[in-house]
Structure 1
Amino acid sequence: MDRDETTVTVVGGGVHGVHLAIRLLEAELLEADRLRIVEPDGLLGGFRRKCAQCGTDELRSPYVHHVSPDPFSLRNFARRRGRVDELVPSDVGSDRPTVSLFFDHAAWVCERYDLESTVVRAAATDIEAVGDHLVVETTAGPLSTEWCVLAVGHGRSYAVPEWAETLPPEAPVCHVWDPAFDPDAVGETESVGIVGGGITAAQLAPTLAQPGREPTMFARSPFRVESLEAGTDWMHFGGVVDELHGLPSASRERARAVVEARYDGAMPPHVFARLRRALERDRLSLERTEIEVATEAGGTVVVTCRDGTARCLDRLVCATGFDSPYDGSLLRRIRAESRLATGYRGAPVLDDETLRWRRRDGSPSRLFVTGVAAQQVLGPFARNVIGARRAGDLVVAALGSALERDRSPKPR
């Protein structure tokens, strides 16, 4: 592919990046040879890995939330292949797909649009404006593009307890989202601790609770069970989102509104039921306390808890979520070296109608932002599949108008 002929570069090949790329092709705004997706893990590779790392076997969202523009594509895919039994009943709305069905459908959709041909297996390290183009710096070299869609998620901005930051590198402590963590590689007789009481910890703990191994879950707060990640009114992107937009862009007030609306860490009923079964069958121990000190000791880790108890563990896995969505290395680099406007805690100042990142002078740049970094525009479902679908609506409309202007004859 000629690097000088790219119209749109999508940075990130997760659900958001894949859906946005498909929407652009479906709308016939460009051909596949004018599109790139920059993603070191390949299409949906990072999402697939995360599902495996915490033991996700069913998705929380309904079957109408997936990468295809047609909301009923996944359901029809399941029917045609005799896999309707992989649509699991839900207590709110439509049935939910298994992870296997979701990824098989996604692969089929990507093949229909020849999306693999657009992938650059590299990591983006910076994005710079050069004249009327953007240059995306990657580990495979620079890529020139007319427009860019930034769909990178949290990156590796993980939340870890303070005590974990002081441990030496050889300590057997990791974060569940570390690329090297593999639950299948945990020894059958290892004593394993899991830190956290949210949805990820609740999925990981029963996954590790195999015969001969009894993990210990350290959860300081009561479990919270919610079917969805926020109230259903946020899923319609109507009045509550309009109220959000009434607050100053990229502000502390918007950040607070999103945090208060999102049920962070809450687990859906099917996850809680699996966790409870593991506890009732004594395959898993639960400690209602908080680790205060951890010390590496000859290939093990000794933890001392707030309640005065201590344990020696072969391995400790932190399932403690993500840090700020604006602290990934790419976003930090863009902020430091560009004329783009930022607000509270480094949040990008985005146009509410288009998701275009504004420059400091208020003009819109050629960079769109989607995913969790756009949560101050899209609300608490920004990071979810439905957030990708809403972002697709905004980006396709805005980019369609912009491309039409770019291609129209200029007056002499």
Structure 2
Amino acid sequence: MASSTSSVIQVRDVIIIGAGPSGLGVAARLHEPLPAANFTDDEHRRFHWIKQYRASKTTTKNQRKGAGKQRNASVPSTVTPELDLLALDASGKSWMQRWQGLFKTFDISHLRSPMFFHVDPSERDALLSYAYANDRSDELRELHGCVGKELSKYQRKKRERMGRQQQNIPTIDERDRKDYYVPSTPLFFSHCDCIVDRYQLSDTMLSQEQVEDIRYDYVRDFSDEQKIFCIKTNKGCHYSKIAVLAIGGNPPQIPYPLKPGEMEGATHAMDIKAFPPLYMQKKIANKARTNVLVVGGGLTSAQIADLAARRGVSKVWLIMRGPLKIKHFDIGLEWVGKFRNVEHAQFWNSETADERCKKIMDARNGGSITPYYKKIVEKHIATGRVDMLLHTTIDSMKWDPSSKIWDVSLKGERQDLPPIDHIYFATGVGTNFESLPCLQSMCHDYPIENCGGFPCITEKMAWRKDVPLFVAGRFAALQLGPGAHNLIGARIGADRIAWSIQEMLGTEEGGDRANWTQDKFNYLTGRGSRYDALANIPVAG
């Protein structure tokens, strides 16, 4: 769709705030006319009807306007150039740039997510297909002991007969073993680049800007009858009919109050620029003893501890306030496999937002590390390079700026530590949409309910029914479930958001739906009961 312009401002169709997995997923899905169905055949049939309907309408328009020009043969048929889309991201000028930076910083060789966790809307097994098509299957690493926990139908019946049936065992078919590999980091990002190229999501539609405020109101230079979004950034203002919030969470914060002079000796994992810091690199180069304290019980804490040991740090102290949790994924297998619809059905049937929020917290159950990294950390512990302290927190900490050393005392099995050179907080990011600076105007002008820090958005993923601000990623968890934080949530969220956006833009365009009977329209789009379409068919006498 062409953008609406006036003599003063340009109003785009869609502005996506965030160029990470959720933002890329939405952009790709909006340019894919025949996405792979995530749920039912009815939905997939609806995609085919929409493609036929829109193609017919476009042809009619071109005939009326005499603009029946052929599309450039070099442009793939999947591209929809009519959509005027802009993405804004503070991290860089290319898609997934912040992700690439973090993966490089932590020296992560493979993702945690299985092969069917990706943002390609064209096919559920797109990442696996890409690996084999490009002879890169050797970059896949099997998740040992993952599929082995699952039982086939025959095995379950046999255990039932023997009275050995265990409870809460995921019923994922053994034939899906191929899914339970993880891709290498270069393979995953190569696939993301392939998505960008396929849908022509070039860097020209992405601008490096920090979004400071979002408003939805009438703009005199555009219309007195239709509200639009005014998105203020550090470089100016952008206008759009629809906006998509696709950010990863609140800005990272260290959970302990630090004075300005102490910030040199402590870093949140999401803010690491150089590892280890320069003053520690000098000590390591001079063969001096160095100690690092890592706070956190998730996978990032284990990755930092491993990286510090490999980079020459003499001793790493890894503390966590709870027990050590070992899981292949952030969420349980029952939420990951093909049969996750059972858990999702229970989630969607929850009567209140509080019930959904509780299910999310129970499913994620705090930070965890993978069996793969557990073995790595155990090797470092065996060699004396890492010491892990469970059920332990920081009691006090004092920074000496002259010697660049921390004096830290703990609460737990051990109270004292040797002088610490640097503290890394791998404590994740918060989830409270009302504290986001860019949403202050929206929360004031269009307040919505807050449940556990998550916004209570509509089933169509919108802020409110009268506000076309769609929410993707972590902040959409009350609609997407515990997987909203992960790549699978990015793809499913993009699918639902794209449906809503296409419905809005289609309605705005008008069209030839009047030529269809309502029964036929409902039948072809999978709405309501299909048997209603038979009601008006004359019965032969």
TM-score (norm 1): 0.89
Q: 1:230 aligns with which of 322, 331, 334?
A: 331
Provide the residue aligned with 1:34 in structure 2.
Answer: 84
Provide the residue aligned with 1:63 in structure 2.
Answer: 115
Change in CA separation of 1:108 and 1:201 when aligned onto 2, cut-off 3 Å: same
Matches within 5 A, 1:190-205: 190-205=290-305
Confirm whether residue 317 of structure 1 aligns to residue 424 of structure 2. Answer: yes
Change in CA separation of 1:106 and 1:376 when aligned onto 2, cut-off 3 Å: same
Provide the residue aligned with 2:522 in structure 1.
Answer: none
**How many residues of Structure 1 are paired with residues of Structure 2 in the alignment?**
403
Matches within 5 A, 1:65-214: 65-69=117-121, 70-90=123-143, 91-92=146-147, 93=177, 94=179, 95-115=181-201, 116-131=203-218, 132-158=227-253, 160-162=254-256, 164-165=257-258, 168-178=261-271, 180=273, 182-183=275-276, 187=281, 188=284, 189=288, 190-210=290-310, 211=312, 213-214=314-315
Change in CA separation of 1:384 and 1:222 when aligned onto 2, cut-off 3 Å: same
- Contact map agreement 1:347 1:373 (CA 8 A) in 2: yes
Q: 1:262 aligns with which of 356, 364, 367?
A: 364
**AA of the residue aligned to 1:113:** Y
Provide the residue aligned with 1:337 in structure 2.
Answer: 444
Change in CA separation of 1:111 and 1:330 when aligned onto 2, cut-off 3 Å: farther
- Contact map agreement 2:315 2:386 (CA 8 A) in 1: yes
Change in CA separation of 1:295 and 1:332 when aligned onto 2, cut-off 3 Å: farther
Q: CA deviation at 1:332?
A: 4.5
SS in 2 for 1:337: helix
Please, which runs of 5 or more residues in structure 2 have no aligned partner? 34-77, 148-176, 219-226, 513-541
- Contact map agreement 1:53 1:204 (CA 8 A) in 2: no
TM-score (norm 2): 0.69
Counterparts of 2:442 and 2:361, CA distance in 1:
23
Higher helix share: 2
**AA of the residue aligned to 2:112:** R
Change in CA separation of 1:39 and 1:348 when aligned onto 2, cut-off 3 Å: same
**AA of the residue aligned to 1:309:** D
**AA of the residue aligned to 2:250:** G
- After superposition, give the CA deviation of every residue in 1:179-226 in whole Å (9 maximum; x if it has no partner): 535448552353211112221101110111024532221234331111
Deviating more after overlay: 112-121 vs 231-240: 231-240
Deviating more after overlay: 380-389 vs 60-69: 60-69
Q: 1:300 aligns with which of 384, 400, 405?
A: 405
SS in 1 for 2:10: helix
- CA-based RMSD of the aligned residues comes to 2.6
- Contact map agreement 1:32 1:118 (CA 8 A) in 2: no
Counterparts of 1:101 and 1:270, CA distance in 2:
19
**AA of the residue aligned to 2:231:** V
- Contact map agreement 1:372 1:382 (CA 8 A) in 2: yes
Provide the residue aligned with 2:374 in structure 1.
Answer: 272
Counterparts of 2:476 and 2:99, CA distance in 1:
19
Counterparts of 1:331 and 1:349, CA distance in 2:
18
Deviating more after overlay: 87-96 vs 133-142: 87-96
Deviating more after overlay: 377-386 vs 54-63: 54-63
Please, which runs of 5 or more residues in structure 1 have no aligned partner? none
- After superposition, give the CA deviation of every residue in 1:36-95 in whole Å (9 maximum; x if it has no partner): 111122311121222233342211111222232223332233223332111111234421
Identity %: 23
Q: CA deviation at 1:281?
A: 2.6
Change in CA separation of 1:181 and 1:127 when aligned onto 2, cut-off 3 Å: farther
SS in 1 for 2:469: strand
Confirm whether residue 286 of structure 1 aligns to residue 391 of structure 2. Answer: no
SS in 2 for 1:177: helix
Provide the residue aligned with 2:433 in structure 1.
Answer: 326
Change in CA separation of 1:212 and 1:41 when aligned onto 2, cut-off 3 Å: closer
- Contact map agreement 1:335 1:342 (CA 8 A) in 2: no
Counterparts of 1:365 and 1:239, CA distance in 2:
31
